[in-house]
Amino acid sequence: MNANITRISAGALAAVGAAWTCVAAMTSTNIAAPKISGPYIHVYNPGADVFPGPDSEHFKTGQSYIDWVPNDHAILKGADGCWHALGITHPQPPGYNPPHYGRGVHEAEWLLFHAVAPAGKLKAQLKNGVWHDARKVLTPAERPGEPRECYAPFILRKDGLYHMIYGPDPLRMATSPDLYNWKPAGALFAQAGGARDPGVIFHDGRYILFYVTGNAILARTSSDLRNWSTNAVEIFRMRRGGDPESPSLVEHDGLFYLFWCLWDATDAANGAYDQRTFVFRSANPLDFHHAPCVAELQAHAPEIFRDEDGDWFISSAEWPKRGVSIAPLAWE
């Protein structure tokens, strides 16, 4: 175990079967579990764009590419009244033919796509293709001195300013007044073993930042989003093969639900973009080691969020279609 990780508890994940099938063992019929309650709506399909560089093996600076591949993303409603999605993207590499993606499936993931819906309530924007490309953000040229890679942003608004936390390790921050123009704000911390796929919730007067390291999900806390606890807490660890990806942590009726997407190289139909998402429930947002698995959902890199009416939704990248799709989420 890394010296800067505090282990709360350990134990086997008894609610997960040998073939990674969630048994969904409920401790009470009065405690809810999430369920996708309607069809996915394909809201965003990326269009052609110019690759800003620097050059990679197959992509050249200033060259236009027709097909772009989105991945881990953030979804939120902006102060402009529009819904926004920002996330990993890159031109489609050669040999990209699911499930045989070929070498370099993640080549040149160095900037973030930015998709914007027309102003209005989310439900009015759940239509095929109504979210359109805005200018891509945080290219390497806009982040001097940082690694070229720009992964899995999480965005929240605080004191009138948008704060984005993104990877890879060290996790970094950028700020924006409007979601369109971003200014890097430096590294937050480095994690032994690396850190990726961050997310944040606010609970009990503090921010909890959770992220993936290897086959575990860790967490740190902060009062200001800038200064994070020195020691990371391990809140979840895989007990079978594979790694968790794209965790989301939400509170519902006083309980906490940890969603994560599995990657174990066994899903022949979806390869690098596995759509098996598992959900664990706990009374403690910092300990899911003995938590039951209460649901298995179909989503890749899911984001769990609520609309203006308080209704729940789940998003998925590259599944069931290229781009981003959104479906309603019910608690049953």
The angle formed by the CA atoms of residues 318, 320 and 321, to the nearest 5 degrees, is 60
Q: How far is CA 50 from the centre of its chain?
A: 25
Task: Let me know how long the chain is.
Answer: 332
Please give the Cα distance from 67 to 169 (Å, whole number): 28
Q: Is the pLDDT of residue 264 over 90?
A: no
Structure tokens, 263: 């990657």
Q: How far is CA 249 from the centre of its chain?
A: 10
**C-beta separation of 236 from 227 below 8 A:** no
Stretch 124-128: mean pLDDT? 97
Distances (CA, A) of 153 to 113, 173, 220: 11, 9, 17
pLDDT at 100: 58
Stretch 31-47: mean pLDDT? 96
pTM: 0.92
pLDDT at 98: 65
Is domain 5-331 classified as CATH 3.30.70.360?
no
